[in-house]
Structure 1
Amino acid sequence: MSIDVHLQMHCSYTNELIRNVLEEENGLFNLIDSGTSNSDKVLYWLEYEDIDFDMLYRLVKESNNKKILANSYCIRKGLLRKANFALFVQKYLSKQPDSILRNHYPETHILDLSHPDYLDEALNEAFELRDILEENTKDDVEPIPFILKASILDKASELFIFYTQSQLEEFFTNKYDDDDDDNIANVREWIVQRYIKNPKLLPVYQNRKFHLRVYVIAERNLRIYVYDGILALFASLSYNNDKESFDRLRHITNTCAQVDSQLNEDDLVKEFFTLENIDNDIRLNIFEQIKLIIKDIFTGLHNEITIFQPLKNAFEIYGFDFLIDENNQVYFLEANAYPDFKQTGNLLSILIKELFQNIVQHIILPYFGYEQTNKITQRKFHLVYDKQKTI
């Protein structure tokens, strides 16, 4: 019996790649135009807001022959919202002081700010940050840079590098004047992270800063895979740690921030494992650090069901962002659900196609009781966490 598939992603790039991969399976998947199906086997590959989570939770509790699989969990704010994740890390480190996250997640402070006038109060709550910003104003001190991020926004929104409280005040005052009270109230939660000012730079790529986009796949409750088709996303201009200016084209590596770039797609997006001038032992060590960090994150989150609740009839793809410093130490920055696959471009689209092929082979076919078809892909899944619970 074939598997009915309701596939509808807003991004045509993503939608077509998924469709092509499913159609390669010799008629096993039957793509349908609506969510209504009488089949006992149904795969929903939809935008988050289009998934019927009530149905998924109901089927988890029911005992019947109908098997339904969806491409998202409902509750995962502990991973995706930057402030929630920072709180989780604080709690986790208090219980597991030797966790790898202690040295591989940048120092992070949380600001709850509903209006620029209340910044003093917010910094009084984050008093450790306040003290460092005050210390940064002294002439005989090498100032520590920080980066401001909105907790629930992505695509490089609202990023700002600063050293002092006055610079932070100026940002909020200029960004949100009295006419924008609703805008800042809608954001409200912010994190401030210690900015990694010594990123790994490669002369062959004009010493442009880059970060790694790692695709992490969670399935059921809970198994975690790391995909080794890793992207290196580059800034447009050579890195310059100038304390007097903040040039987004030098400091921000998100692809969406390079809209004014003069570079071509293949200069901005590369595959990590094909980067030049990185010793292979160093490359493998970086990948090992990434896997250990991801394993520890989900080891902690799996016990926090109020902020991360995997389901046995769902899977989800996350885009994890990492930065490497000049000493080849890896730092976890943030995680994103429904990552922007289109940023990969056409030249590396095979990387995304093989991601979806691995999902079909390792997750979808076994879930519905089919054997893997042993499709050979160059890029592979690496299992880093496997501890199944019954819900």
Structure 2
Amino acid sequence: YEIKMNIKVHLKMNCPYTNELIRNVLEERNDLFTLTDSSTSNDDNTLYWLEYEELDFDMLYRLTKESNNKKFLANSYCIRKGLLRKANFAMFVRKHLAKQPNSVLRDHYPETHIVDLIHPDYLDEALNEAFELRDTLEANTQENTDPIPFILKASILDKASELLIFYTQSELEEFFTRKYDDDDDESIANVREWIVQRYIKNPKLLPIYQNRKFHLRVYVVAERNLRIYVYDGILALFASLCYADDNDQTFDRLRHITNTCVQIDSKLDEEDLVKEFFSLENMDDELRSNIFEQIKSIVKDIFTGLHNEITVFQPIRNAFEIYGFDFLIDENNQVYFLEANAFPDFKQTGNSLSILIKELFQNLVQHIVLPYFGYEESNEITQRKLHLVYEKQKTL
């Protein structure tokens, strides 16, 4: 019987909501965890739960290569742009589909084009590269066609800051010209990579929630090199206003964009904007479980492909990471993957559903952190669980 050392924890997340929930979960096991406020040290048996910029990846990589038995665990991988940057991910999917023509991503990731733009004056050249997109935008201007809407997203900006839903090249030109002429907006001039994605204009709507559009925020946990879990505490994030697809050319953001940060001006309460997916009313269990199965198979396929792309996704054996995956369901109950975010905004869950995030951290501590440090998985019962969807060990 060996006496195990306490696990030292360096915990510092900028968001107080997240920091408090993690602290609460760790303090419930204060027989095992000692929270310390000192700056990073390289003592044995240490858990780092910090912002990405605060993690010492040089040290982590060095320790990965050394064969000593020191145990360190960090809450992020260093290299994962192949998953998180929208243009890199679109390139990965293209490559993946070329190798695996039957991949589920073929039907569960919207048609996506990469636009590399130095300046609005060069939009023509950028669209010549993305010629299929150019041809569709051209077709959209013809009389008597049912135009296909697209959505423009900056490859690396989050928070729905630069989204545009549009039909034609001239709308796109107008958007970029306006952005670049707005001298206050330095950030946009530094963004070269954009993606243009077919806009899913027939989202699933539930009359009981005023036919407001919603997307799903699914928490995915990656650990070591490599296991992937999907958490079944899934959020449904709603727009404020009823969805209208009467070819309304204005694309009101409060109807079309479901990110919580866009709904800041909403007249609705938090409870109307953020709900738990498995508690949505008027949706039968069979449908819910079908949607969850689609989500799991999409996540599995993404990591099956990414695990071979070591230059853009590099899991290491002394780290884990939580991602926020966004999915949209269409009126035929087909699930589409939209994007993945690291260090997701847990605060948007709000107070009434904070148990969902707390149980995510409890699951993480029980099934990932404790076993890493040689403790048996504790079997505290949580209502929500992690589901293993991918497991393949590689050395790094």
- Calculate the TM-score normalised by the size of structure 2: 0.97
- Residue in structure 2 matching 1:286, options 275, 291, 294: 291
Deviation at 1:178, TM superposition (A): 7.0
1:48 paired to 2:52:
yes
Alignment of 1:325-336 (within 5 A): 325-336=330-341
Deviation at 1:279, TM superposition (A): 1.4
Determine the structure 1 residue equivalent to 2:180.
Answer: 176
1:59 paired to 2:56:
no
Determine the structure 2 residue equivalent to 1:298.
Answer: 303
CA offsets, 1:102-148, max 9 Å, x none? 00000000000111111111001100000000000001210000000
Cα distance between partner residues in 2 of 1:352 and 1:259 = 21
Determine the structure 2 residue equivalent to 1:364.
Answer: 369
- Residue in structure 2 matching 1:89, options 89, 93, 96: 93
**2:18 and 2:347 in contact (8 A); partners too:** yes
- Structure 2, unmatched stretches of 5+, are none
Cα distance between partner residues in 2 of 1:41 and 1:237 = 50
**1:110 and 1:191 in contact (8 A); partners too:** yes
Amino acid at match of 1:370: Y
Cα distance between partner residues in 2 of 1:35 and 1:126 = 48
Determine the structure 2 residue equivalent to 1:341.
Answer: 346
Deviation at 1:296, TM superposition (A): 0.2
**2:367 and 2:378 in contact (8 A); partners too:** no
Q: Report SS of the residue matched to 2:317.
A: coil
1:76 paired to 2:95:
no
- Structure 1, unmatched stretches of 5+, are none
Deviation at 1:36, TM superposition (A): 4.2
Deviation at 1:208, TM superposition (A): 0.1
Distance 1:38 1:99, change over 3 A: closer
CA offsets, 1:305-327, max 9 Å, x none? 00000000000000000000000
**1:115 and 1:181 in contact (8 A); partners too:** no
Q: Report SS of the residue matched to 1:176.
A: helix
Deviation at 1:373, TM superposition (A): 2.2
Q: Report SS of the residue matched to 2:290.
A: helix
For the aligned residue pairs, the C-alpha RMSD in angstroms reads 1.1
- Residue in structure 1 matching 2:212, options 196, 208, 211: 208
Deviation at 1:13, TM superposition (A): 0.2
Amino acid at match of 2:366: Q
**1:4 and 1:37 in contact (8 A); partners too:** no
Q: Report SS of the residue matched to 1:256.
A: helix
Determine the structure 2 residue equivalent to 1:382.
Answer: 387
Aligned length: 391
1:33 paired to 2:37:
yes
Distance 1:27 1:113, change over 3 A: same
Q: Report SS of the residue matched to 2:132.
A: helix
Cα distance between partner residues in 1 of 2:316 and 2:28 = 28
Cα distance between partner residues in 2 of 1:374 and 1:309 = 30
**1:176 and 1:183 in contact (8 A); partners too:** no
Cα distance between partner residues in 1 of 2:210 and 2:42 = 57
Deviation at 1:175, TM superposition (A): 1.8
Determine the structure 1 residue equivalent to 2:129.
Answer: 125
Q: Report SS of the residue matched to 1:158.
A: coil
Cα distance between partner residues in 2 of 1:243 and 1:116 = 26
Amino acid at match of 1:33: D
More displaced stretch, 30-39 vs 179-188: 179-188
Determine the structure 2 residue equivalent to 1:11.
Answer: 15
Cα distance between partner residues in 2 of 1:271 and 1:97 = 34
Amino acid at match of 1:311: I
Amino acid at match of 2:20: E
- Calculate the TM-score normalised by the size of structure 1: 0.98
Determine the structure 2 residue equivalent to 1:148.
Answer: 152
Deviation at 1:182, TM superposition (A): 5.0
Cα distance between partner residues in 2 of 1:98 and 1:378 = 35
CA offsets, 1:75-104, max 9 Å, x none? 000000000000000000000000000000
1:101 paired to 2:105:
yes
Cα distance between partner residues in 2 of 1:313 and 1:179 = 44
Q: Percent identity over the alignment? A: 81
Q: Report SS of the residue matched to 1:74.
A: coil
CA offsets, 1:228-280, max 9 Å, x none? 00000000000012332110000000000001000000000000000001111
